[in-house]
Structure 1
Amino acid sequence: MAEIDRPWDDATIASEQVGKKDVIQFLQANAAQRFLADQKLQGSLKNVVKTSKKDNLVKAYNEMFAKKAFKGSEYDVPMENVSTATAALTLGEKKQKKVEEIEVEIPRYKKTVLKKGDKANFPKRGDKVVCYYVGKLADGTVFDSLQPGSKRKKNQPLSFKVGKGNVIKGWDEALLTMSVGEKAEIVIEPEWAYGRHGKPEAKIPSNATLTFEVDLLRID
């Protein structure tokens, strides 16, 4: 596009002979959309007149000629294309981030409620929980157990701070979903149990899926 002639010199445009409305009309008729957006000169003439200062309009007028930011010039990039591309990139980044989060947060256990709790008191990370349990291998073999015992010989329950890595991750995460008084069966995949190393001293083999019945007695 050929360069546009200046309708006003510096002295004339700065004088009262040329009003804000005149400058805005000229800019909106001749400037590239991207330039108008940068200068915040898009919209209805009435609104732009209200929000614009004469000094800023004079500056924009001179800048348009300095940058040759006219309609049809290289400066005149369609704003909708830029916005669409930016939106697509942002959406893509959000989707990627969401996928990554999902991959990290997939639970490696399954919980089945055997007895409902009070549904009011749930432990938070760092709380001390007190519970009884039975641990089994996939074939039903009991490898560990702590139960109340008899009247003559009572067994003290297990207590530990939940969510702090004091037990296997499957326990840490599953117990946070239980309320006081709840009894649940928790099937824990190897990744959140003892993994590929297992626990030989407890006769837990490598890559073992473990099943626990856990009674959450209280939160101390």
Structure 2
Amino acid sequence: MLLLFHCTCIFNSFFIAFLAEHKLLGQIKNVAKTATKDQLVTAYNQLFETQRFKGTESADKVTEQVKNVKIDEDKAKETKPEETVDEGPPKYTKSVLKKGDKTNFPKKGDVVHCWYTGKLQDGTVFDTNIQTSSKKKKGAKPLSFKVGVGKVIRGWDEALLTMTKGEKAHLEIEPEWAYGKKGQPDAKIPPNAKLFFEVELVDID
């Protein structure tokens, strides 16, 4: 857009200067209405005699200026810094209950498999996949999902990326990285609730 504007200004200046030399004053679009026939004929002949409509020095200057504008625009694009958003400190804390292998960290998009229990601040359990009875234990499966891509609350996504295979941790997640102002009525999680989890990362695919 800047390039087009610059070119327009250059060419308009060229024609205004040419018309002024021949005392054809006024806006370019109105010259044909205001000039006399003799003035127009003289200007026309002069234009063709000097060949100023062709690739003359003025046109070369225009081309050079256009190139310079393009180079400046390209440099501006290259040097423009990327904007970063500072979100402040993480909205969760993690305490390691059992160390993992300290080697195998999940990456964004990996499938992780977890055992977990979630509690409210008063100790009420609102969700778990850990079964207590022996019959249910046999058929129980860990929760599996792609980590780091928004399949679960952000507190889980961020915390699990810091854990290694076999690690068990206690997580305290602030509302901003949990269910926020809306809460999760179906799970009996009130608005602006801080959540507490015990999570064990049993495997990574």
Question: Into which bin does the TM-score normalised by the smaller protein fall?
Answer: 0.5 to 0.7
1:179 and 2:161 aligned: no
Aligned to 1:191: 176
TM-score, with length taken from structure 2: 0.56
CA-CA distance at 1:149 after TM superposition: 4.8
Gaps of 5+ in 1: 1-93
TM-score, with length taken from structure 1: 0.53
- 1:1-220 superposed matches below 5 A: 101=85, 103-147=86-130, 149-153=132-136, 154=138, 155-220=140-205
Letter in 1 for 2:101: D
**Structure 1 stretch displaced more, 118-127 or 148-157:** 148-157
Cα distance in 2 for partners of 1:115, 1:198 equals 30
> Identity over the aligned pairs, expressed in percent?
63
C-alpha offsets along residues 65-88 of structure 1, whole Å, 9 cap, x if unaligned?
A: xxxxxxxxxxxxxxxxxxxxxxxx
CA-CA distance at 1:204 after TM superposition: 0.2
Equivalent pairs counted in the alignment come to 122
CA-CA distance at 1:147 after TM superposition: 1.0
CA-CA distance at 1:106 after TM superposition: 1.8
SS at match of 1:174: helix
CA-CA distance at 1:165 after TM superposition: 0.2
CA-CA distance at 1:152 after TM superposition: 3.0
Aligned to 2:3: none
Distance 1:120 1:148, change over 3 A: farther
Aligned to 2:40: none
Cα distance in 1 for partners of 2:134, 2:109 equals 32
Structure number with the bigger relative contact order (C-alpha 8 A, sep ≥ 6) is: 2
Aligned to 1:64: none
Query: 1:143, 1:204 within 8 Å by CA — same for their partners in 2?
Result: yes
Letter in 2 for 1:194: Y
Cα distance in 1 for partners of 2:133, 2:167 equals 21
Cα distance in 1 for partners of 2:89, 2:172 equals 14
CA-CA distance at 1:120 after TM superposition: 0.4
C-alpha offsets along residues 7-50 of structure 1, whole Å, 9 cap, x if unaligned?
A: xxxxxxxxxxxxxxxxxxxxxxxxxxxxxxxxxxxxxxxxxxxx
